[in-house]
Amino acid sequence: MTTATTPQTDPFALARALSGRHFYDGALRESASGRTFPVVNPATGEEVGAAAFGEAADVEAAVRAAAAAQKGWAKVGARDRGKLVARCGQLLSEHVEELARLIALETGKALRTESRVEASVLADAFTFFAGLGSELKGETVPYSPTVMTMTVREPIGVVGAILPWNVPLLLMALKIAPALVAGNTVVVKSAEEAPLAVLRVIELMGGILPPGVVNILSGFGPECGAPLVAHPKVGKVTFTGSVETGKIVYRTAAEKLIPVTLELGGKSPMIVMADADMDQAIAGAIAGMRFTRQGQSCTAASRIFVHDAVHDEFVARLKAKVDAMRMGDPLDEATDIGTIVSHQQMERVQGYIAIGKETDGAVAHVCSALPTDPRLAKGLFIQPHIFTGVTNDSRIAREEIFGPVCCVIRWTDYEEVIAAANDSEYGLAATVWTRDLKLALDAVNRLEAGFVQVNQNLVVQPNLSYGGVKASGLGKEASLESMLEHFTHKKTIMINMK
């Protein structure tokens, strides 16, 4: 069974057509058990489709297909692999609207501000890595005039890629595009909350790539993710998700002695100096906190340290801007802020809001307005909360909330604010806002984070290494180096000519 390869812009029809299927060995396939689980529109609570419930038997079949395809795929020239991946990028660029609507339907991310943006950068990520085939080069080493010594880059084999639900299309692309160009085959495990748009991408790619080169399973962590990581033929795992699950993946990989890349959580600081351009800093806080995505971002700028001299003005203007954002149906073009992804996530975020309200000295500034449309009465909407009056020691400033909740923390002493920014278990991203370049340089050198920016708050960009330090993860993604370091191994070859 396949769905049409022309773009299907009715997401409800496409969700039904993709229901109950994995994609492996070149075709859409049901689970061995025939089981499925519901896909729910978080804006209405309606069941819009079903996903195949993957288990060990499905993992076995998909990994077997990937392993069988890998030797042949590695023999395709590196630039030719790149050309096929470029064709995938081209095809996906023709499906932006379709994918945007489908991801909005299953995750509740607003179409205009989030889902369409994600679907557009998806194609760009494939196009970027597609051009890097000839960069898979080795070196010659001047060991001795009579011993020709060189290195070559070889693929690892079968890569297991485990996805989260918050940015599934882009994060999948950043994992599988470099893995494929480097000569690996992949088995993806989608997040249980967002199985369909990524399935559609793999189905479309499967029309271009040989059978078994790209494969995807849907299912839950213990039943489907765990056997994928543990499978003896999976030689590398790349994971994005929670710290807790990242540790489980790492432990299993350790038993097999295979490499892993882990992109985990964050509690990213934003430091606003007294001389900062206020308009720029407030726009940066809104973009950084991903309010349009209900704050469901690992890089969310959720600890905003604002200098005492501008603190009150900053909070008032930030609140006014967030108040002006419209919460509503994710598929409506007028909507700025969509929904939370699931009931589980909603309860978690509400739990943190309650903790925040009970924190000594805390003031909750509740922003925007819940939608009034009765069709959305069961929608998973949470009003953005800006907490002031809290310190960096409070639970809401220390723990990742993954929702539209941030802390604005007042500061006066520069040394103290740098220490507070670094006083976190995480180290994913950080930003500094000032006109003083000397101070900015001092701060960027001292901040403990994988990605530090001054006077801007961009998201992942192709060819900029992305990844955290401390509990935020291991290894980098998105760059040429990430392809070389994480999806190949280096073989040393010596030829004695004496």
**Active-site residues: which are they?**
263, 298
Instruction: Determine which residue in the list 112, 189, 231, 267 makes contact with ligand NAI, applying CB under 6 A.
Output: 189
For the bound state, the minimum distance from the C-beta of residue 328 to ligand NAI, rounded and expressed in Å, comes to 23
DSSP codes, 400-446: ---SSEEEEEEE--HHHHHHHHH-SSEESEEEEE-S-HHHHHHHHHH
Nearer to ligand NAI, 245 or 457 (CB): 245
Select the residue interacting with ligand NAI from 91, 117, 180, 191 (CB under 6 A): 191
Q: Is 221 in the site for ligand NAI (CB under 6 A)?
A: yes
Q: Please give the Cα distance from 303 to 301 (Å, whole number).
A: 6
Half-sphere exposure of 241 (CA within 13 A, CB side): 22
| Nearest to 208, CA basis, from 146, 126, 134 | 126
| Residue of 291, 314, 402, 433 interacting with ligand NAI (CB under 6 A) | 402
Give just the sign of the alpha carbon dihedral 387, 391, 392, 396: negative
Task: Write the interaction track for ligand NAI spanning residues 285-314; mark x where CB under 6 A is met and - where it is not.
Answer: -------------x----------------
Distance in Å, CB of 162 to ligand NAI, minimum: 5
DSSP class per residue in 23-48: EETTEEE--TT--EEEEE-TTT--EE
Count, residues near ligand NAI per rule CB under 6 A? 28
| Interaction of residue 248 with ligand NAI, rule CB under 6 A | yes
Among 44, 115, 218, 245, binds ligand NAI (CB under 6 A): 245
Site residues (CB under 6 A) for ligand NAI, limited to 125-164: 162-164
User: Shortest distance, CB of residue 52 to ligand NAI, whole angstroms?
Assistant: 14
**CB burial class (10 A; 0-12, 13-18, 19+) of residue 37?**
middle
Question: Alpha-carbon Rg of the chain, whole angstroms?
Answer: 23
Q: Residue 14 or residue 298: which is nearer to ligand NAI going by CB?
A: 298
Question: Among 185, 218, 240, 488, which residue sits at the site for ligand NAI (rule: CB under 6 A)?
Answer: 240
- Regarding 346 and contact with ligand NAI (CB under 6 A), the answer is no
Interacting residue ranges for ligand NAI, rule: CB under 6 A: 162-166, 189, 191-192, 220-222, 225-226, 229, 240-242, 245, 248-249, 263-265, 298, 345, 348, 400, 402
